[in-house]
């Protein structure tokens, strides 16, 4: 096993697809835990760096139903911005409904959690304020979703699907829900200092943080300080997702 390059042993038979909507959506500790659990990782990129400012690209999708798990990652765009990214957002909504109804386990992170809320009958829009940095959350099931702190980096929020079970929230909005074999998260368990630097080095990344009255260097320092505990929480969350959610009864959506 070579985690750095995401190689796995020949004995690995389970497959997880990471849908990466931009060029900086690396998986950090959650990649590592999927590999440890015997999953072969496939990365599927939507918008490359050259198209970052023109993200409404056309996409030739993989066969999503050929995977055991699909992880829908974050994005710098909104899961409600049909006009801006509709060439791939609208097909993704349709495809992920099919994936969910087929009983494939789904983990949605930030944009991915918002997208899955929309797929399953909820809605997504601008939040009353941003959440950027390390936050504790309120959880009704701390064995599945502990209080954290977890890393937040979002300006939008979802409204829970009608038949979803909310697991966690903050004063701004929902932070986690389950719906059959889908787990939607608003926070970023994948964050570590390397992933954060990728985001900050992205066009406009530092300006976004500073626009919320935060110090970029303070955010980096806090993330380094949280790294060991945060990585453990992330690995535990992957285990809980695989052990509890991925094998839950299938819950269909119309």
Catalytically active residues are 110, 188, 190
Between strands 14-20 and 39-45, the pairing is parallel
64 with 17: CB under 8 angstroms? yes
Longest CA–CA separation in the chain, Å = 49
Token digits of residue 139: 């959880």
- β-pair partners for 106: 70, 182
Residue 34: exposed, middle, or buried by beta-carbon count in 10 A (0-12, 13-18, 19+)?
buried
Beta strands in the chain (DSSP E): 14-20, 39-45, 69-72, 105-109, 123-135, 138-139, 150-159, 165-169, 174-179, 182-185
73 with 111: CB under 8 angstroms? yes
Residue 233: what are its φ and ψ, rounded to 5°?
-60, -40
d(CA 153, CA 150): 10
d(CA 4, CA 219): 25
Please state, in angstroms and as integers, the Cα–Cα distance from residue 220 to each residue in 32, 120, 185, 201, following that order: 22, 35, 22, 12
């Amino acid at each position: 096993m070579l985690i750095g390059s995401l190689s796995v042993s020949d004995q690995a038979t389970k497959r997880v697809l990471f849908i990466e909507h931009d060029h900086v959506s690396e998986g950090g500790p959650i990649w590592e835990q999927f590999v440890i659990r015997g999953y072969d990782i496939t990365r599927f990129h939507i918008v490359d760096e050259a198209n970052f400012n023109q993200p409404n690209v056309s996409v030739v999708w993989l066969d999503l139903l050929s995977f055991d798990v699909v992880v829908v990652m974050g994005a710098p765009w909104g899961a409600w911005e049909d006009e801006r990214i509709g060439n791939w957002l609208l097909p993704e909504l349709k495809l992920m409904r099919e994936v969910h109804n087929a009983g494939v386990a789904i983990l949605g992170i930030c944009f991915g959690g918002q997208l899955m809320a929309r797929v399953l009958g909820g809605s997504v829009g601008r939040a009353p304020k941003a959440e950027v940095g390390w936050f504790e959350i309120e959880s009704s099931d701390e064995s599945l979703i502990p209080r954290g702190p977890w890393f937040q980096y979002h300006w939008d929020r979802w409204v829970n699907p009608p038949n979803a079970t909310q697991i966690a929230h903050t004063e701004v909005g929902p932070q986690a829900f389950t719906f059959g074999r889908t787990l939607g998260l608003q926070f970023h368990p994948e964050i570590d200092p390397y992933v954060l630097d990728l985001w900050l080095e992205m066009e406009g990344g530092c300006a976004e943080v500073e626009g919320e009255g935060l110090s970029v260097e303070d955010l980096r320092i806090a993330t380094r300080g949280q790294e060991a505990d945060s990585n453990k929480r992330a690995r535990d969350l992957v285990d809980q997702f695989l052990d509890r959610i991925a094998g839950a009864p299938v819950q269909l959506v119309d």
